């Protein structure tokens, strides 16, 4: 009898746990955020609001703004309407998180579709270029390691 009772309690507990987990809806979940300890303090901002921080002026196709930097990294927001020229960074690794929009990313010799939420790792020396296929500018969060010096961009055919 005790074994049966313990088994029933285990089944009931598992069912309750499943019910609780399934009752949480997307509306109950917190928004996706950037939560970072930058040298000038902690910053927590919803990703949708982060994407709004970089806008293109009329006639402008590409814009990069720096959010923060430390001794080892720099963090940037990138907005692009058209397409990048294929290029590489010989002294910097790059991690990109697509915040808004979609398109195709050339990484090495291949091009693949990417969209919101995509995470792209570009090791130093790898040829890469993004082509926006969205009607609005695409926006990405980019992290360079080491901190980007503004000089390490080599265009390639």
pTM of the complete model:
0.81
DSSP-derived 3-state class of residue 105:
strand
Q: Which of 48 and 7 is assigned the larger pLDDT?
A: 48
In sequence order, the 6+-apart residues with CB closer than 8 A to the CB of 146 are 72, 73, 91, 92
DSSP state of 83: B
pLDDT digits (tens, 9 = 90+) for 145-156: 999 998 999 999
H or E element that contains 128: strand 128-132
Element (DSSP H or E) covering residue 110: strand 110-114
User: Does the pLDDT at position 15 exceed 50?
Assistant: no
Cβ contact 97:82 at 8 Å: no
Number of CB atoms found within 10 A of residue 22's CB: 8
**Is residue 139 within 8 Å of residue 54, measured between CB atoms?**
yes
**Contacts with 8 (C-beta within 8 Å, 6 or more apart), sequence order:** none
> What are the pLDDT digits (tens) for 27-39?
789 999 999 999 9
- Tell whether the model's pLDDT for residue 91 goes beyond 70: yes
For strands 119-122 and 93-100, give the pairing.
Answer: antiparallel
């Amino acid at each position: 009898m005790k074994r049966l009772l313990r088994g029933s309690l285990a089944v009931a507990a598992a069912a309750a746990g499943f019910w609780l987990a399934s009752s949480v809806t997307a509306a109950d979940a917190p928004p996706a955020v950037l939560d970072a300890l930058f040298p000038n303090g902690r910053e927590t901002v919803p990703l949708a609001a982060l994407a709004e921080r970089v806008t293109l002026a009329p006639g402008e196709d590409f814009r990069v703004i720096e959010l923060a930097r430390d001794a080892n990294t720099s963090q940037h927001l990138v907005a692009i309407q058209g397409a990048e020229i294929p290029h590489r960074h010989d002294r910097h690794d790059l991690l990109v998180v697509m915040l808004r929009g979609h398109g195709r990313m050339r990484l090495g010799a291949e091009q693949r579709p990417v969209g919101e939420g995509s995470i792209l790792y570009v090791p130093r020396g790898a040829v890469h270029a993004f082509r926006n296929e969205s009607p609005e500018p695409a926006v990405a969060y980019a992290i360079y390691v080491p901190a980007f010096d503004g000089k390490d961009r080599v265009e390639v055919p």
